[in-house]
Amino acid sequence: MIRKSKRLLSMTGALFIAASLPTSVTLAEASGSNIEEGKKLAFTRSKGNCLACHMIKGGDSPGTIAPPLLMMKSRFPDKKVLKAQVWDASKRNPETSMPLFGRYEILTEDEVDKVVDFIHSL
Amino acid sequence: MNNLMIKLMLICMVSMVTATVYADPEKDKQLLTDFFKARFAGVPLQEFANGSYAYDTIGRASWEAIEEFPPYEIAVDEGEAMWETPFANGKSYQDCFPDGPAIGHKYPHWDDKQGKVVTMALAINQCREANGEKPLKYKKGSINNILSYVSFLSRGKKTQVVIPENNKDAMAAYEDGKKFFFTRRGQLNFSCATCHIQNAGMKIRSEVLSPALGQTTHFPVYRSKWGAVGTLHRRFTGCNKQVRAKPFKAQGEQYRNLEYFLTYMSNGLELNGPGARK
Amino acid sequence: MKIVTIIILSIAISLISSVAVAGDQKAAESAIAAAEQSRKKAASVDGEWRDTGKMIKKAQAAMKDGKFDKAIKIANFAERQGQYGYEQAVSQKTLTMPSYLK
């Protein structure tokens, strides 16, 4: 009787620990899946809708309001600076035409990170 | 001699005050006109009454083709029928508007008795209600017919919005409309100016952004997207929703004041409605 | 004896969970009320955003369905939207003409 309950307890304990482990791990390097999901978010009208203003490889009928997104690693060597721009473009330019994707929660932080991973890869 | 001196002094004082009262709207209009002249060098001023077709040559070609069989013609005809049909009490629109129906250029104007900006649409409903008729809806439906009729017959008349001299309330309405135009709103954080001045001529996806100058001359407008003629305030509503701002009431104070400011900016441009757009 | 223990235990559990549910309902109601207040504040300065009202309705529907965590999450977001809209409007209280029009 006692041995059975001990086994049950240790199994439950192990399951509990496993369940409480973080489901996503933030990597310094963008994972392939992040870039793919970021691209989807960037190209979705109700999400990033980046093509409204930016030319992006792989997207058609881009707008011409803003600079084309290419050579991003040389333009934004520090990914954090790119994230800050996507988060709140008004910080760099108070007269910006770019929505404040992070600050006004158009995208969640997780979504912003994915979009940034995608854009940085261009 | 004394009398003459006093008269001269009075004239000087009045003109000083009126100069102050008129200084800003005319300056605003000048700044706006200079901006568009610089950005679209060579485009004649009256062309801005055609919106983005003033500079979007591809869009203009399709527009000119559409204008061969104008999609607003039916609305104009139905509007004529409305104008000619007496109300139940025997009176008609002509009684409300003795100078009509070619009176598009007289609106919007400041109405001192009512203490507000009166637009053509508002005046039509006020006429209806004064004669025991039900008011029409302000965005869709038959108001667009009578507005199309008035608009069509008013073609060629020059936009001439007046801010009455020394009228603080009228000036306040103009300033309110101006502020609205330049205020960022909605989750997307755009002002009217962001698209229609700052980025006029650029493309948002495949759409060429239209200029604020000349924006009011061609309403009501047949929009292919609507499949119908719609009012200026309907378009204001749509634009506000597109930037994820809660729109305001059609013919409410915000949109009437905005119309007052925006139409003033087109002073001098000939009316050319109804228009046809994508 | 065993059956009595089970009965007592199940009554206790259902009492505790109904108190917990009532507590969650209160939390959801409070979150929705806060959201509505925030929405009105933004509206008072003509700064209300398009989706805030819809979100509050969604939160109310979720609460009716007993989905209290969902209701609270949506209501909290709506409350933040009201805040952003209010700040956006108030930060532009005085009109400054843009640099491209001077």
**Mean model confidence pLDDT for chain B:** 94
- Whether C43 maps to a domain, the answer reads yes
Residues of B in contact with A103 (CB under 8 A): none
Contacts of residue B109, defined as CB under 8 A and 6 or more positions apart, other chains included, come to B117, B118, B161, B162
Grade residue B9 by pLDDT with cuts at 50, 70 and 90.
low
Residues of C in contact with A105 (CB under 8 A): 77, 80-81, 84
- Whether B143 maps to a domain, the answer reads yes
What's the pTM value of the predicted model, to 2 decimals?
Answer: 0.88
Residues of A in contact with C77 (CB under 8 A): 105
B205/A51 touch (CB, cutoff 8 Å), yes or no: yes
Question: How far is the CA of C9 from the CAs of C6, C19, C48, C90, in angstroms?
Answer: 5, 15, 50, 56
Q: Is the pLDDT of residue A41 over 90?
A: yes
B205/A65 touch (CB, cutoff 8 Å), yes or no: no
pLDDT > 70 in chain A, percent: 75
d(CA B272, CA B269): 9
Residues of A in contact with C98 (CB under 8 A): 95
**Bond preceding residue B108 cis, omega within 30 of 0:** yes
B183/C53 touch (CB, cutoff 8 Å), yes or no: no
Give the nearest chain C residue to A94 (CA atoms): C98
Question: Please, which residues bridge with residue B116 across strands?
Answer: B111
ipTM attached to this prediction: 0.89
- Whether C83 maps to a domain, the answer reads yes
B116-118 and B109-111 strand pairing: antiparallel
Q: What is the mean pLDDT of residues A93-111?
A: 98
pLDDT digits (tens, 9 = 90+) for C37-79: 999 999 999 999 999 999 999 999 999 999 999 999 999 999 9
Residue B108 sits in the same domain as residue B178: no
Which residue in C80, C98, C99 is closest to A105 by CB distance?
A: C80
What pLDDT does residue C7 have? 83
Angstroms from B212 CA to nearest CA on chain A: 17
Residue B88 sits in the same domain as residue B147: yes
* Domain count within chain B: 2
B186/C50 touch (CB, cutoff 8 Å), yes or no: yes
d(CA B200, CA B240): 17
What are the tokens at C36? 């509505």
C101/B245 touch (CB, cutoff 8 Å), yes or no: no
Residue B45 sits in the same domain as residue B167: yes
How far is C-alpha A9 from the geometric centre of its chain's CA atoms?
Answer: 39
B198/A95 touch (CB, cutoff 8 Å), yes or no: yes
Q: Which domain holds residue B239?
A: 25-56+163-271
What pLDDT does residue B19 have? 40
Best B39, B55, B188, B209 residue to mutate vs chain A (most A CBs within 10 Å): B188
The runs of H, that is alpha helices, within chain B are 2-39, 57-66, 73-84, 93-96, 120-130, 143-153, 168-182, 192-193, 232-242, 253-264
The three-class DSSP label of residue A101 is coil
Grade residue A17 by pLDDT with cuts at 50, 70 and 90.
low
Q: Is the pLDDT of residue B121 over 50?
A: yes
B198/A64 touch (CB, cutoff 8 Å), yes or no: no
Q: Which domain holds residue C75?
A: 23-91
Tell me whether residue B195 is one of the annotated catalytic residues: no
What pLDDT does residue B14 have? 53
* Domain count within chain C: 1
A95/C77 touch (CB, cutoff 8 Å), yes or no: no
Q: CB–CB of C81/C52 below 8 Å?
A: yes
A93 shares contact with chain C (CB less than 8 Å): no
Grade residue A102 by pLDDT with cuts at 50, 70 and 90.
very high
Angstroms from A79 CA to nearest CA on chain B: 23
Best A101, A104, A108 residue to mutate vs chain C (most C CBs within 10 Å): A104
pLDDT digits (tens, 9 = 90+) for A22-36: 444 444 567 789 999
- Whether B263 maps to a domain, the answer reads yes
Give the nearest chain C residue to B187 (CA atoms): C49
Residue B115 sits in the same domain as residue B230: no
d(CA B238, CA B225): 11
Q: Is the pLDDT of residue C99 over 90?
A: yes
Annotate A5-72 with DSSP letters as a single string: HHHHHHHHHHHHHHHHS-S----SSPPHHHHHHHHHHHH-TTTT-GGGT---TT--S--SSS----SH
Q: Which of B210, B213, B218, B211 is CA-nearest to residue B72?
A: B218
Question: Tell me, what CATH number does B42's domain have?
Answer: 1.10.760.10
pLDDT digits (tens, 9 = 90+) for B222-251: 999 999 999 999 999 999 999 999 999 999
Domain A31-120, CATH homologous superfamily name and number: Cytochrome c-like domain (1.10.760.10)
- What is the residue extent of each domain of chain A? 31-120
Give the nearest chain C residue to B175 (CA atoms): C95
- Whether B66 maps to a domain, the answer reads no
Q: Is the pLDDT of residue A90 over 90?
A: yes
Q: What is the mean pLDDT of residues A63-85?
A: 98
Residues of B in contact with A104 (CB under 8 A): 187, 189
- Whether C2 maps to a domain, the answer reads no
Neighbours of B147 (CB within 10 A): 28
Question: How far is the CA of C12 from the CAs of C4, C17, C23, C66, in angstroms?
Answer: 12, 9, 16, 21
Among B153, B177, B200, residue at a domain's last position? B153
Q: CB–CB of B252/B142 below 8 Å?
A: no
Grade residue C20 by pLDDT with cuts at 50, 70 and 90.
confident
What pLDDT does residue B18 have? 43
The count of residues in chain A is 122
Best C49, C51, C84 residue to mutate vs chain A (most A CBs within 10 Å): C84
pLDDT digits (tens, 9 = 90+) for C85-97: 999 999 999 999 9
What pLDDT does residue C10 have? 77
C57 shares contact with chain A (CB less than 8 Å): no
